[in-house]
Amino acid sequence: MEERSMIDLHGIVKRFYVGKANELEILHGIDLNVRQGEFVSIVGASGSGKSTLMNIIGVLDRPTEGSYILDGVDVAKARDNELSDLRNRKIGFVFQTYNLIGRTSALKNVELPMLYGKMDRKKRRERAKELLEMVGMSDRLYHKPDELSGGQKQRVAIARAMANEPAIILADEPTGALDSETGRIIMDLFHKLNKEQKKTIILITHSGELAEETQRIITIKDGVITGEREGSIQCLS
């Protein structure tokens, strides 16, 4: 039986400064379907539109035209508060710059999405500890970001992304600020989450080498999808 669709984009157009003389169209009719449990990469150079597309997939922005169904929910018809709730429950974000809160511990950084989700304090602390253990950071629970290496920060960020048990992990250049050895650890973590927890993972990257590690490679250029092919590593089993 074929896996159900998690992300279904059809005819997605994104314009900025709509109706003004300097109106700018970044995405020109994107069609993209991602099935539950897939590990997909979106590859493109700087300025290709991949960040704009990521913002739409992550419900951080709305398309100007087109339809987006996210795990059965019509994003165009949802109110802002519904989208915020959807984003918090369905999507875990991992960014190149980590986006951790500097003055607080790894543990509290991981607890934060659960706090927004109104989870009981004891439960969220227990889950945060479990998640940090899962990413190999149980000995750094009370360290602040400035006391951690880049790779350690990214592992905390992955633990935080998993806090509300999202169906989808959206990773934007997650190894971009890391050396190759540390980047390897981070990619192995994504493979583990995809294989063992069946997480749907979308990797946004400019690296063809990293993209090869995913099941499907989507190439975007000048705001349109120009190619799609299988990665060379279908499953790490």
CB 109 within 8 A of CB 160: yes
Q: Which pLDDT value is given to residue 14?
A: 97
Measured CA to CA, the distance from residue 224 to residue 30 in angstroms comes to 6
Query: Model-level pTM?
Result: 0.91
Instruction: From residue 191, give the alpha-carbon distance in Å to each of 56, 138, 158.
Output: 24, 20, 12
Measured CA to CA, the distance from residue 129 to residue 126 in angstroms comes to 5
Q: Which pLDDT value is given to residue 2?
A: 54
**For 94, phi and psi rounded to 5 degrees?**
-130, 120
Distance of CA 79 to the CA centre of its chain: 22
As averages over each run of 10 residues, the pLDDT of the chain (237 residues) reads 82 94 94 96 93 94 95 90 89 92 95 87 95 95 96 95 94 91 92 94 92 95 96 59
